[in-house]
Amino acid sequence: MPDKKHAEHLFELAKDAMSKAYVPYSKFHVGAAILTSNGKFYSGCNVENAAYPEGTCAEAGAIASMVLNGDTDIKDIYVIGHGDALVTPCGGCRQKIREFSSADTMIHICGSEGVRKSLTMNELLPFSFGPENLEQ
């Protein structure tokens, strides 16, 4: 877990991002917030599209913001969806998070009261394919 101050900020950022989701089709709001290993915060929401497959996930938005700002090392990522069911990152997002993860990256799945489940990258995506697989 990140320290208390970082944890609170991540949760607030993820909730705030969730409130901004553009979801006229699914009405399913999702927010994500990232803390990088160098102490920066990024967030994102899902953005749907009338051409349904073009919609993007909250995690993808947060990752795009992180990369735009020159950061590539996720320490913690919080994900929150509206409603009671826990939102675990979809398969595509697991792979997107994996690209920017390291041994100590943690994925925290939140409910309305805070973190409900914390997972390592390997728990979320075992036997994963990553950048090092391309190193010869």
Ligand X SMILES: O=c1ccn([C@H]2C[C@H](O)[C@@H](CO)O2)c(=O)[nH]1
Q: Which residues are annotated binding-site positions for substrate?
A: 46-52
Q: Does 67 bind ligand X (CB under 6 A)?
A: no
d(C-alpha 61, C-alpha 47), whole Å: 8
Which one of 8, 12, 59, 113 is the catalytic residue? Answer: 59
Separation in Å, CA 70 to CA 36, 38, 61, 102: 11, 11, 15, 17
Q: Does 87 bind Zn ion (CB under 5 A)?
A: no
- The answer to whether 14 and 41 have CB atoms below 8 angstroms apart is no
Parallel, antiparallel, or unpaired for β 30-36 and 74-81?
antiparallel
Q: Does 55 bind ligand X (CB under 6 A)?
A: yes
Which listed residue (90, 112, 123, 129) binds Zn ion by CB under 5 A? 90
Q: Does 93 bind ligand X (CB under 6 A)?
A: yes
Q: Does 17 bind ligand X (CB under 6 A)?
A: no
Q: Which is it for the CA torsion 80, 84, 88, 92, positive or negative?
A: negative
> Least distance to Zn ion from the beta carbon of 96, Å?
7
Catalytic residues: 59
The residue ranges that bind Zn ion (CB under 5 A) are 57, 90, 92-93
